[in-house]
Amino acid sequence: MGEFFEGAPAQLPEPMARGTALYRPVEEQPQPVRHVGGYEPFIEFCRGLGVPPAELAGDAIRLLRFLRQAAPDIVIDGALKNAAAVFTGNTLARMRPDAEWKAYEGGAPTVGTEELQFEVNRLLDGLNIADDAAVEGLIAKVSDWARNEPDPPMMQPQPTSRRTDRSYVRPVLRMDTYDAEDGTAIPYGHRWGEDGPDPDSYSVTSHPERFAGLHKVARALIDYLVAVYDVEVLEDKALAADMMIEARDVIAAVRLTPRTSYAAPLTFILTGFPGVVVHAGVLHDFPFPVCGCDACDETVLTQADRLERLVLSVAAGGYAERYPVGGRRLREYALTAFDGSGAESGKGEPGPIDEARLREAELRLKGVEGGWSPWPLRSH
């Protein structure tokens, strides 16, 4: 079926639970699915009407107009309807190089990009019952979407390794034992087996005091950065306003601003949870722990690892941000570990943020399009 769509047909991607994300190392990332098989009945249907399916596959607007006319005959035949939906999805994926199929648990598959996704089964039903104005509106929407050029992929920043007179040393963290209601020790970090967390554990946060050591780690990182890098230091609880998210029960707030506009500032917020939130650059917050509930089963050691990796990587120039991205004006970040141990990235809506702050962030990031620079070292 390569005569209609690129590459060999594949199966739908593995379904994901809505509201979650699956993070894998780069080398384990599955290839995006752009060509799904199973549309042969629709090809025969088109040929029976004297319509060349190859022409429909190359022109989404022509396909939509054809489906509008043929929908009454298509939707009454389940197998034909499914085949037409797959063909339509493949055609939409062909319109944009960044379009792909996605599948979600308990829902119908979709095709599209981050800015817009189409549920192709519902699209067919809609074409069957919509009035002419609604159909033309859909066609205009698809046309605009197909014309939009996708943003180039974000370049992964490359941290700089520099010899300094002082190395960061993690403070000693207490590893206390915490007991469950039945008196047995809770094996945090290894609490759940192959079946996953107890469903009731998602709404429970027991022994949050196990994260108290993160305050010591944050203070140790601040002391190290001040000793090694040329930064301005400001401590004031009012600096919690730097956060993109609301920081609750603020105990202390410290902002470190490198003495160059090309390096990303860091603001550390110590909370009464206890936990730490770090605001990096201009548009991203990183909480430690991310959640802290019993289901997540996080420990102070794993969160200390994450906190240190973020902070030391930003200082080494391994951090980049972009805004706005795409038609939805998303914000995006990429982080490369200072020690080469890995990389991560993220993208999402800015949220309910003041427009003036977004405009300021957009202007600031134009000056560091290749990523934030390494922090300047102190002169000794």
pLDDT value for 2: 60
User: What is the reported pTM?
Assistant: 0.74
233 by DSSP, 3-state: which? strand
pLDDT value for 23: 41
**182-238 pLDDT tens trace:** 778 888 888 888 778 888 888 888 889 999 999 999 999 999 999 999 999 999 999
pLDDT value for 30: 66
Which residues pair with residue 102 across a beta bridge?
A: 110
Distance CA 194, CA 81 (A): 38
Q: How confident is the model at residue 327 (pLDDT cuts 50, 70, 90)?
A: confident
Contact 265, 281 (CB under 8 A): yes
Contact 334, 352 (CB under 8 A): no
Query: What would you report as the CA-atom Rg of the chain, rounded to the nearest whole angstrom?
Result: 26
Residue type at position 267: T
Residue type at position 282: V
Q: Is the pLDDT of residue 154 over 50?
A: yes
- What mean pLDDT do residues 281-292 have? 94
**59-78 pLDDT tens trace:** 999 999 999 999 999 999 99
Angstrom CA distances, 362 to 16, 56, 189, 324, 344, stand at 32, 41, 39, 7, 22
DSSP class per residue in 122-133: HHHHHHHH--HH
Q: How confident is the model at residue 140 (pLDDT cuts 50, 70, 90)?
A: very high
Distance CA 295, CA 192 (A): 8
Contact 343, 154 (CB under 8 A): no
- From 157, 123, 165, select the one nearest 142 (Cα to Cα): 123
Give the list of residues 6+ apart from residue 113 with CB closer than 8 angstroms, or none: 96, 98, 99, 100, 145, 150, 326
pLDDT value for 59: 95
Q: Worst-scoring range by mean pLDDT, 60-69, 148-157, 175-184? A: 175-184
Distance CA 330, CA 113 (A): 13
Alpha helices in the chain (DSSP H): 40-48, 53-57, 60-74, 78-95, 120-129, 132-147, 213-228, 300-315, 355-366
Where does residue 195 rank: exposed (0-12), middle (13-18), buried (19+ CB within 10 A)? exposed
Where does residue 24 rank: exposed (0-12), middle (13-18), buried (19+ CB within 10 A)? exposed
210 by DSSP, 3-state: which? helix
Q: How confident is the model at residue 257 (pLDDT cuts 50, 70, 90)?
A: very high
**77-136 pLDDT tens trace:** 999 999 999 999 999 999 999 999 998 877 789 999 987 899 999 999 999 999 999 999
Residue type at position 303: Q
Residue type at position 204: V
